[in-house]
Amino acid sequence: MTTHRFDLHPWGIGWSCVQNSGWEERGQAHRESVFSLSNGHIGWRGTLDEGDPSAAAGSYLNGVFEEHPMPYAEDGYGYPEHGQTVMHVPDGKVIRLIVDDEPFDIRTGALVEHRQHLDLRTGILHREATWTSPAGRTVTVASQRLVSFTHRSIAAVRYEVTAGDAAVEVTLLSEIVADEPLPEVHSDPRVMDALREPFEPVSHHGAGGRATLVQRTRRSRIAVAVAADHLVTASQANAPEPHTEVTADLARTTVRARLELGESIGLVKCVGHEWSPALDDVALRDRAEAAVESAIEIGWDGLVDEQRQYLDEFWGRVDVRIEGAERLQQSARFSLFQVLQSAARAEVRSIPGKGLTGVGYEGHTFWDAEAFVLPVLTYTAPHAARDALLWRHSTLDHARNRAEQLHLAGAAFPWRTLDGRECSGYWPAGTVAFHVNADIAAAVVRYARATGDEDFEREKGVEILVETARLWCALGRWDDDGAFHIDGVTGPDEYSALVDDNFFTNLMAQRNLRAAADASRRHRDQASALGVAPEEIARWTTTADAMAFPWDAARGIPEQSAGFNAKERWDFEGTRDDQYPLQSHFPYFDLYRKQVVKQADLVLALQIAPDAFTPEQTARAFAYYDELTVRDSSLSASVQSTVAARVGQLDLAMDYFAEAATIDLDDLQDDVDEGLHVAAHAGVWNALVCGFGGMRDDGEMLRFAPRVAPPMTAFSFGMLVRGRTLRVEVQRDAVTYRLADGAALGIRHFDEEITLEAGQPRRLGIPALPDPGPRPSQPRGREPRRADAET
């Protein structure tokens, strides 16, 4: 039975406990992740204002980490020596409340009512609580919290207390709290020992309502400054003055007031965040305090207005609308909002796998940032996609050094990282997952084509394409028949490792090589400066043309890797439901030698490169691999939804879409406590737009082949194409294309080429769907959640 954990609302996520039901600790960590706020630079988990109770307090800055030793039972050449883990920076969102002489603690007294609501239109987290103290005094607390999209360094809180049933003395304690404990992110105690006290104090300052803490990580030597200032409002004639005390690891601003029945006192708190590995401590403090001073001058209402305007423009361009399925509508908007939050103001920083919503994956970024998240950003927030690619470019020296260490040419980007250096200690699923390099190259090509940003392609893109192309030529081998093979690699599927000719890897490498050759011909001066000669370009094209692709001739389908389809099948019938995920109950060596797929691999190739396969091959391959895919990864359902839609299996596509859309909101894999899955949220947009919308961008012209599937009755989405806003509105029998502005745009509607003019919508019919054949089956017990439960 489906269990939905949040209230249904088309523009928000809500949760409440009412009618004196008391506080519900179960699910608190999950709610903290879901109610997290971020702008790509700052991340605040959705903890309660007063800080307690808290499952995992968290305030994060993108790029702030601590190093720790990488423990190995047996060392080996090329193993990373140091790991990196995201740290809790000083937490400025804490505001504690004392009612008379009793602390406001929702676990004591009587919690009459408690509500939280994340408004996706404003980016504000709302909270309302009515609480009666053990002594019988009732107060109402109302707070709003935002992390600014328009002021990169600023997060802010508005906090108000109202006396409910009698006069009461209240004390507000607004804090910046350092050294918040980190959850156990590693099972080795030597690692956790290195992470227990990661910061050393540098300086602390406070006066009036202002406070600043400056600290530095002990090993990575990253300095962090967190500053705060306050505005006090009161329903009385004279608002009380704040008073601040500061120590090395705690800043506390105190406001006291007596409230008569119905009177209120409010606090606006603006918090500035800056970090740098090189900036002088005083300069860093000045930057944080200047950001706060500017925010205080703008005021809470001004910050809210700017936030609303930013999001109005975003949703006005790229909103996703689903009719007939309210919960899918809610989930789709929530997912797109999470993608925006992860990167909007990252500004040449990575996009971590959990964004800035928790310490999951130790804050690392992976290949899925380029393969899943950047396609969405490219068409909805292209400035953020550009910044993410600029960050990858800034780490090229680390990638070149890694390639040299591995005795390869070009650049070898890391499997998991925070600053561009490899942090994966498990090399069968880390170092040899070389497809990450082609994933990055593909993101470069997509961004340049979708935006027309020739400056980026020339100044940054060419170098990424060239260095990754060089890697493939050094990594592969030629056989006696003139075919080029890439042996001993790991593809996207983490239940296979060290395979030969992984189809996805070879296909992406082929495209990488061709893209490098094309870009080098277009930008000869840049290519020449990188030492690219005509002979090297010829080698790339020859290698791409000779790329080997394993093929199962008997079934008429591509193989995930050479010999994969000849392996013994996993015993799905004999695997109990409680033995999933498989990696938690079976040894990897057994998984590696069987036909079982953790997450879409060959099917991901079908999604990303549809032009490489005929429709018949795609349908046969999808059906075959759907029988083997157990979806022990949050990345899989959206890909399977996309390809199912393309082959006409609309009911199955919708079921996979429903699973992808609710994987975090309903915590389907029981792993959201440490943060949301940003790439899975991106997959929701990909499934809707590329699956049901039939959008393909693998050619010079966008192609759409949309289909509506129940319970949806209609859907629409917007996207940015070369600076123009295109809206696609899909109904059961027709689709309307609207170009809002700019020059004419050519697209394909199914196989018909059309030209769109700004302000002149085109309504076209949707051809009948050919019979797709029987619905593909899945491993026993691994069928997707039904879409009819999400209406």
At a CB cut-off of 8 Å and minimum separation 6, what does 584 contact? none
In SS3 terms, 137-167 reads as: CEEEEEEEEEECCCCCCEEEEEEEEEECCCC
Q: Write out the DSSP string of 49-65.
A: TT--S-SS--EEETT-E
Residue identified by tokens 């561009």 is: 420
CA–CA distance from 684 to each of 479, 654, 702 (Å)? 41, 11, 19
What is the torsional sign of CA 675, 680, 684, 686? positive
In the chain, the amino acid numbered 394 is S
Q: Return the H-helix or E-strand segment holding 177.
A: strand 168-177
Closest-CA residue to 502 (of 472, 480, 482, 481): 472
Phi and psi for 182 in degrees, rounded to 5? -90, 135
Dihedral sign for Cα 148, 150, 154, 158, please: negative
Of the residues 66, 494, 559, 674, only one is catalytic, namely 494
Instruction: Count the neighbouring beta carbons within 10 Å of the beta carbon of residue 759.
Output: 9
- SS3 category, 324: coil
Residue 297: active-site member = no
Closest CA to 716 of 754, 685, 679, 757: 685
> What are the beta bridge partners of residue 226?
213, 273
Is the separation of the CB atoms in 745 and 739 below 8 Å? yes
Q: What is the DSSP letter of 530?
A: T
Measured between alpha carbons, how far is 224 from 91 in angstroms, rounded to an integer?
12
Residue 99 token pair: 């009612």
Find out whether 143 and 266 touch, Cβ atoms under 8 Å.
no
Contact 525, 458 (CB under 8 A): no
Burial class (CB in 10 A: 0-12, 13-18, 19+), 195: buried
Cβ–Cβ under 8 Å, residues 621 and 557: yes
CA dist 602 to 123, 218, 307, 434, Å? 37, 44, 41, 16
**Cα end-to-end distance, the chain, whole Å:** 14
Active site amino acids: 494
